Amino acid sequence: MKRIFLFLITNFAILFVLSITMQLLGIDRMLAQETGLNLQGLLLMAGIFGFGGSFISLVISKWMAKMATGAQVIEIPANMTERWLVDTVKRQAEKAGIGMPEVAVYDAPEINAFATGWNRNDALVAVSSGLLQNMTQEEAEAVLGHEITHVANGDMVTLALIQGVLNTFVIFLSRVIGFLVDRVLLKNERGQGVGFWIATIVAQLVLGVLASVVVMWFSRYREYRADAGGAALAGRDKMIAALERLKLNQDQPAQLPEAVKAFGISGAGNGFSRLFMSHPPLDERIAALREAGEPRRVAPVRRA
């Protein structure tokens, strides 16, 4: 609940700071004179749509993930594998100090898993059937620890918060650019001309791509933290073995839907595409774990 409160407060704080800054610098008056643009109204609209879409996606993320992957939540374990899966998640959740997540399995040949949810005490951890068939229990335990760490760190909320901030800037700046092109460069004085719409769309596409680079950078950063958390919950050797197993299966790339792709255990890319990778290369993740040494044990966290 504290993270959701922080999410909303940050939204209002950003809008307030931007509004005051533009007033102090005289940007709003200058643009109002030149283009008739109401910056404060535009900023409010950008904040509502930028954070609103991100917040709604966060709230319905579990439902979207289940629908997109066909994940079946384990209500009553039907076999020893499902019993082990639920018991392992329960044990790790208690060690990490979070509420028991829903545990699900989805049908897919590739080795993968993901975690999602709007609240660290109301999350979903799902694994593919391919993971259960191709990983040892020790390796699977480390993967579950990785996903539990995503939940404990509040990565879903943090990523949504960053996305909301960037959405706000993209919506706001693209429309400011559109107004400037339409009124200042094209000298259109009646309403919003074609120049406004074309410039806004182009600016939104360009700024959206740049925003994606920032989001993916954070996504890669939190993967290292989740690997470290998985090592703390299950053991460093098990986490390294799980990543080594993923390397052996890189010829069968993960096919998670976009809604949960950033929260999977694996991902690939190189060259220029590295900027848009949600996960660092596996070799780098393994090297980071080996250099870090044996992690400290995770201490239970008191629930707020």
Active-site amino acid positions: 147
What's the count of helices (H) and strands (E) in the chain, helices before strands?
Answer: 12, 4
How far is residue 204's CA from residue 166's CA, in Å, rounded to a whole number? Answer: 11
Sheet holding 113-116, edge to edge: 72-73, 102-106, 124-128, 113-116
- Give Cα 102 to chain centroid, integer Å: 19
How far is residue 241's CA from residue 122's CA, in Å, rounded to a whole number? Answer: 29
Angle at 297 between CA 80 and CA 119, to 5 degrees: 70
For residues 65 and 259, is the Cβ–Cβ distance under 8 A?
A: yes
Tokens 């950008």 map to which residue? 46
How far is residue 124's CA from residue 120's CA, in Å, rounded to a whole number? Answer: 9
